[in-house]
Amino acid sequence: MKNIDPIPHSRPTLGAEEAKAAAETILSGQIAQGAMVGKFEKRFADFLGLQQAVAVNSGTSALHLALLALGTRPGDEVIVPDYVCTALLNAVHYTGATPVIADVGAADGNLDCQAALRLITPKTRAVIVPHMFGNPCAGITLFKEREIPVIEDCAQSVGAELAGSKVGTLGDLSIFSFYATKVMTCGEGGMVASNCQELTNAVADLCDYDNRDDYLPRYNYKMTDFQAAMGLVQLTRLPDFIHRRREIAHRYNAGLKDLPLRLPGAQPDQQPIYFRYVVQLANPETLLNHLRNHKISAARPVFKPFQLLTGTNAVTDHGASPQGLNNHGISGHRVPQVAASGTAMRTFAREPNRSPQDVVPCDRLPNACSVSLQLWHESLSLPIYPLLQDAEVDRVIAAIRDYYQKISDT
Ligand SMILES: Cc1ncc(COP(=O)(O)O)c(C=O)c1O
């Protein structure tokens, strides 16, 4: 075991082309936002087949500006899934609006859109629909009928398709992240895209504060030209990245299909890009440790569901079980509203004995976010990225098979 190389959980796919593009931009002297960003925005919009895209410095900034472009303000509610990274909660809090948390579907961890529909009130300003782990969220079209603005969160799914349509073209606005471990990367970065010019103009206006005739609180969320130079190269390589991710997923499927693990699946109209290869099993922590002993890094695909992070659910993360939710389960619920600075959130998070009135549940059906909790307890993300070699995939498969062999031997 000593001499084998570790297999990391994720790695960016960067090479000489990205290095050359970034170096040329740096040496040109134009490193802040300039023509390269404009070119990246145009190419990205063309890739999606949308009118306009606006580059920003992160996926979180993209979410924040998308919410502001829709007019989100204190007093509004924004529906978000429970099982996703905290960037969504942060972005909603930055606007002063109240996040309303909905459960997710067991099949793929995407927002349970039917559950989200039940949380709509006259205060609902928008719903944020992430396509989790590279798998398109099939229910996204349901919100159109209710005329609820949809922000499509494609941070994990650039290039995935639903019924022949690219993700990013199904909502009113879509956002992307180019963080280091995402499907394509500029180190950090993001994009907001839409066919509605009024919305993209609002985003473009808000992400740069300089040289304005009026005063409005604006943000310095700009992408730099050398990030855009990398992004342009990554965009041309994206089809190869996706092809390789699918090859690896098929290799895992073939190597693991007879084991007592639930493998990621997709409906015929979903074309996932396998940002993550998430398996479900009763005790992921033991498999994670077993893989670690084989120098393989696996991870929980979502650090913690919002209900555990915000304490809106009485269940603790220590030994909580989905069954345990029966006593305390809170359905879609509002997490406490905080000042735009986020100060209240920090205080709240440090307060172990927060009082129940800090949290205003909006719907007390038992077990309503239980799927999220169950997924959190049972999911494990295996290494998947274009640089992963077939021999490494086979090593992961062999280590998992060894784990189950040992279980059956005992
Ligand atoms: C679904 C989702 N949305 C938004 C973000 C935020 O992106 P960023 O890290 O670029 O701010 C992430 C980041 O992991 C994400 O997974």
Residue 277 maps to which CATH number?
A: 3.90.1150.10
Q: Can you tell me the distance from the alpha carbon of 52 to that of 203, in angstroms, rounded to the nearest whole number?
A: 11
Count of residues in the chain: 410
Residue 34's pLDDT band (boundaries 50, 70, 90)?
very high
* 313 located within any domain: no
Closest-lying ligand 1 atom to the alpha carbon of residue 132: 1
Mean pLDDT of the chain: 88
Residue 282's pLDDT band (boundaries 50, 70, 90)?
very high
In this predicted model, what pLDDT tens digit does every residue of 23-33 receive, in sequence order?
999 999 999 99
User: Does the CB atom of residue 159 touch ligand 1 within 6 A?
Assistant: no
Which of 215, 234, 253 lies at the terminal end of a domain, its last residue? 234
User: Does the CB atom of residue 129 touch ligand 1 within 6 A?
Assistant: no
Is the same domain home to 181 and 272? no
Q: Is 128 within 8 Å of 151 (Cβ atoms)? A: yes
pLDDT of residue 346: 26
Higher model confidence: residue 177 or residue 354? 177
Is the same domain home to 106 and 181? yes
* 131 located within any domain: yes
Cα of 356 vs centre of ligand 1, distance in Å, is 30
- The CA-atom distances, in angstroms, between 231 and each of 152, 242, 341 are 20, 16, 31
Is the pLDDT at 320 greater than 50, yes or no?
A: no
Tokens 């992307």 identify what position? 176
Provide the residue type at 291 as one letter: L
- Average pLDDT score over residue span 265-270: 91
Is the same domain home to 138 and 278? no
Is the same domain home to 193 and 272? no
Of 7-21, 159-173, 354-368, least confident by mean pLDDT is: 354-368
Is the same domain home to 116 and 189? yes
Cα of 175 vs centre of ligand 1, distance in Å, is 9
Is the same domain home to 161 and 55? yes
Higher model confidence: residue 66 or residue 321? 66
Q: Can you tell me the distance from the alpha carbon of 158 to that of 134, in angstroms, rounded to the nearest whole number?
A: 7
**Enclosing H/E stretch for 160:** none
* 136 located within any domain: yes
Is the pLDDT at 381 greater than 50, yes or no?
A: yes
Q: Determine the structural domain holding residue 58 and report its residue range.
A: 16-234
pLDDT of residue 1: 64
Is the same domain home to 203 and 110? yes
User: Does the CB atom of residue 59 touch ligand 1 within 6 A?
Assistant: yes
Cα of 190 vs centre of ligand 1, distance in Å, is 9
Q: Can you tell me the distance from the alpha carbon of 274 to that of 280, in angstroms, rounded to the nearest whole number?
A: 15
- Average pLDDT score over residue span 368-387: 94
Q: Can you tell me the distance from the alpha carbon of 21 to that of 39, in angstroms, rounded to the nearest whole number?
A: 13
C-beta neighbour count of 403 within 10 angstroms: 19
pLDDT of residue 218: 97
Is the same domain home to 130 and 57? yes
- Average pLDDT score over residue span 76-95: 96
pTM of the full structure: 0.89
Is the pLDDT at 317 greater than 50, yes or no?
A: no
Is the same domain home to 213 and 134? yes
Q: Can you tell me the distance from the alpha carbon of 128 to that of 88, in angstroms, rounded to the nearest whole number?
A: 8
Of 105-109, 154-158, 199-203, 392-396, least confident by mean pLDDT is: 105-109
Is the pLDDT at 348 greater than 50, yes or no?
A: no
Is the pLDDT at 279 greater than 70, yes or no?
A: yes
* 339 located within any domain: no
C-beta neighbour count of 361 within 10 angstroms: 16
* 40 located within any domain: yes
In this predicted model, what pLDDT tens digit does every residue of 130-158 receive, in sequence order?
999 999 999 999 998 889 999 999 999 99
* 35 located within any domain: yes
Which of 184, 209, 234 lies at the terminal end of a domain, its last residue? 234
User: Does the CB atom of residue 85 touch ligand 1 within 6 A?
Assistant: yes
Catalytic residue, candidates 144, 166, 182, 257: 182
Closest-lying ligand 1 atom to the alpha carbon of residue 189: 10
Angle value at C-alpha 393, between 389 and 397, nearest 5 degrees = 165
* 147 located within any domain: yes
Which of 205, 234, 263 lies at the terminal end of a domain, its last residue? 234
CATH code, 176: 3.40.640.10
User: Does the CB atom of residue 189 touch ligand 1 within 6 A?
Assistant: no
* 352 located within any domain: no
Is the same domain home to 223 and 276? no
Nearest to 161 by CA among 271, 266, 49, 264: 271
Is the same domain home to 113 and 262? no
If you take atom 2 of ligand 1, which residue's CA is the nearest one?
155
Q: Give the chain's domain count.
A: 2
Is the same domain home to 147 and 169? yes
